[in-house]
Amino acid sequence: MKELALKYGCNPNQKPSRIYVTEGELPIKVLSGRPGYINFLDALNSWQLVKELKAAIGLPAAASFKHVSPAGAAVGLPLSDTLKHIYFVDEAKTPLSPIACAYARARGADRMSSYGDFIALSDTCDEATALLIKPEVSDGVIAPSYTPEALAILKEKRKGTYNVLQINPAYTPEPLEHKQVFGITFEQGRNEIKLDDPKLFENIPTQNKHFTPEALRDLIIALITLKYTQSNSVCYVKDGQAIGIGAGQQSRIHCTRLAGNKADIWWLRQHPKVMNLPFVNNIRRADRDNTIDLYIGEECEDVLAEGAWQQFFKTKPEPLTLEEKRQWIAQNHGVCLGSDAFFPFGDNIERAHKSGVDFIAQAGGSVRDDHVIDTCNKYNIAMAFTGVRLFHH
């Protein structure tokens, strides 16, 4: 099949719409559902990310995409009991495979942003992974293959309308890319840079020049994630998964703040008060996620006020005070931070430090590199200048 007609483009008024190739066959099969224009944009971008993560790290990888940027990305490291609990997979009926662990991490990092996502899996979708996907609000999934059990589960989702895509993992696109804007065609070479090259981390201008093997792994994950994230973008990573992604901001410090706030929320969800919230029975997943987000944030009275808390909790929880949040966040360390271009000022480092960042990889080349380096030295942060920009539009 060379082309596939779509219902409409980005918006219902944008017709006609299709995806097609000029030579050969489409590398995608629709196994279930009727994916749309944005679904395919998310699917193809997210597939590239997980394929590259798998090749670089050597572990199964997963991504959760929304509006052509990742909400989460991760490799298939085992989950601690704490992570199983905050990702709501601690009662999984089937033992979690590596690809299921990758998906649980990718989806669980920022559940608010992942609501209604498109999922990418680097490896065969198995039953364990399909069972995790089944109860989530999601638009679809793309993977190189599916076990019969997994496909049966996914085909039943959303009364049979859930989008299930299979991609040929051997597919290689042409080296030149084209896109049209306002009737004008743009052409460029594909971004084929390999971000697991050790040379990217050899230029270390900071006093602290030590990167642990885990930090190098997580920095590679950050950079590969940024390669497929709408710019400007920064990515916080810890223990093999993105924990905060800031995408599409005009100011880099806004990216750093946005992603840092998400990383803080990820960490605060592990606070004992949050892990032990006494939710009412049968609370919907979306309501539970929204409630946790409000409880952690500045609008906690929205769920703790009299007449409100009874909708969500069996008993009224004690608030998580500002001081408790500060003390808990201060315990987070070993976080890695990647940026798709240089940090222009040290304020980005100041903000990153507040979220436990100890390792940074960024392009370098700012006229204020000296200020950025000095700020890293102030906090004993190890930083590498990669010399690589990763803009994505």
What are the backbone angles phi and psi of residue 206, rounded to the nearest 5°? -85, 160
Instruction: Write down the catalytic residue from 93, 159, 199, 393.
Output: 393
Q: Are 103 and 92 in contact (CB under 8 A)?
A: no
Specify the 3-state DSSP secondary structure of 330: coil
Angle ∠(199,200,204) on CA atoms, nearest 5:
95
Catalytic residue among 45, 163, 232, 348: 232
Among candidate residues 39, 51, 54, 66, the one labeled active-site is 66
* Cα 75-243-83 angle, rounded to 5 deg: 70
Residues near 16 by Cβ (< 8 Å), separated by ≥ 6?
A: 5
- 67 as an active site residue: the answer is yes
Report the chain's terminal Cα–Cα distance, integer Å: 28
Active site residue 85: no
User: Cis omega (within 30 of 0) on the bond before 27?
Assistant: no
What residues contact residue 172 under an 8 Å CB cut-off, 6+ apart?
none
The answer to whether the beta carbons of residues 109 and 221 sit under 8 Å apart is: no
Tokens 């997943």 correspond to what residue?
A: 285
Question: Alpha-carbon distance 334 to 389, whole Å?
Answer: 24
Cβ atoms 175, 190 nearer than 8 A: yes
67, 254, 325, 392: which is the annotated catalytic residue? 67
Tokens matching residue 318: 């004690």
User: 163-167 and 233-238: which strand pairing?
Assistant: unpaired
Q: Which residue has the tokens 């049979």?
A: 160
66 is catalytic: yes
Q: Which residues are catalytic?
A: 66-67, 232, 393
